[in-house]
Amino acid sequence: MRLTCAGLAASLALLAPSAFAAGPKPPEPKGGTTFTLSHTGNAAADAARARVVAGDCKGALDLFDEALRTNVDPVLRRDRGACHELLGNVFPAIDDYRAYLAAMPDAADADKIRDHLKALEDGAPPDQLRKAADYDAEMRGGVGSAPSLDTKKAPKDEPPPRELTEADKGKSQSVLEYEDQRDVEMRTSSLRQGTGPVLGAYFFPRYWVRGGGLPAKANFGQGVGLALRWSFSKTSSVLGEIGYASLGPSGDPSSRSGLQLFVGYEARVALDRWATNHLFFGGGGGYEDAKQDASGTVYRSIMARGRAGYRHVFGANVGLEFMADGGVAVTFSAGAAPGTSTAAQVIPVVGGQVGFVVGF
């Protein structure tokens, strides 16, 4: 916000009262340089705000000081005061906030700045002045363009400000910022509590409790496949899997193998604050089409499956999961040799699954 004439006069009176003194202009000191006070932007102000956007409030202070030697825009005092506040420099922040409010008492953010000022004057510890994060979000959204601390304008990757709780008391500013970043990570990761797609690869061993007349050794099987999930809330996902499954030892005449499909639903329960560890539960329906090479018989199975497991998330979007899986298959055969029964059989199936997943 640019100064009105009245605002300019007020800030000049505050920052350089000698400019309004009666009498002739004092002589320029020897070796000095002439300059003109301005309320428009300058290179030092732009550089200072760029430092703030880059997260370097400490490095911005010298540039703010330089800008204020030739620039009387009170917004600079507000910006420098907020930098001092974030760095825990209480008295310089008080000075700058008072100057800003004196020059612009009706600014859009004046009430919020008064809150900052009161907290500082009341002796609040610097690491508990969390509302200074409002200013940080404003700076990253466009420094000095409008003296407003409306955090709704902050980029979505910036952590929203939060009120301090009893558990936050005594925490340093860096710890609070780390926790805010983890909160953002949790809300935006489809593997934690965010929404979006999840791709995975899995391996599963399993056991068909009764193999439809097959020898016992052919009741064990395994498979590999790919999974696609879509997290549509912080606790729920829909999922689909496609894979290749085999039953029986490789090379054995009784073994069979073929396509495996599964669709279902998954609910997850976070075990910690940032949903790094989950328990998940799900169920759905599947279909398998397995051919026995020795006889040419095709075994088709329609399955109802349930599952429960544990997932650990590394970083924001990579996870490893382990689950138990079980259900019932209704299996019937096609193309069997004459005299072979083709009646459907109900066969319990139990197994497990290990998966590697990536969220987007």
For the stretch 205-214, pLDDT in tens is: 988 886 555 5
Q: Is the pLDDT reported for residue 217 higher than 60?
A: no
Q: Greater confidence, 38 or 225?
A: 225
pLDDT for residue 196: 94
pLDDT for residue 185: 87
Instruction: Extract the tokens encoding 200.
Output: 């995975």
φ/ψ (deg, to 5) at 332: -140, 160
Give the fold, CATH level 3, of 196-359. Porin (2.40.160)
pLDDT for residue 154: 38
Q: Which residues pair with 359 in a beta bridge?
A: 198
Q: Greater confidence, 13 or 279?
A: 279
pLDDT for residue 51: 83
* pTM above threshold 0.85: no
Cβ atoms of residues 168 and 320 within 8 Å: no
Helices (H), 147-271: 173-188
Amino acid code (one letter) for 72: V
Highest mean pLDDT among 18-32, 89-103, 327-341: 89-103
For the stretch 172-181, pLDDT in tens is: 767 777 887 8
Q: Which residues pair with 135 in a beta bridge?
A: none
User: Where is 48: in which H helix or E strand?
Assistant: helix 43-53
Q: Is the pLDDT reported for residue 148 higher than 70?
A: no
Sequence length of the chain is 360
Q: Is 37 helix (H, G, I), strand (E, B) or coil?
A: coil
Helices (H), 104-245: 110-121, 132-142, 173-188
- Average pLDDT of the residues of the chain: 76
Could you tell me where in the chain the CATH 2.40.160.20 domains are found? 196-359
pLDDT for residue 262: 96
R_g (Cα) of the chain, nearest Å: 34
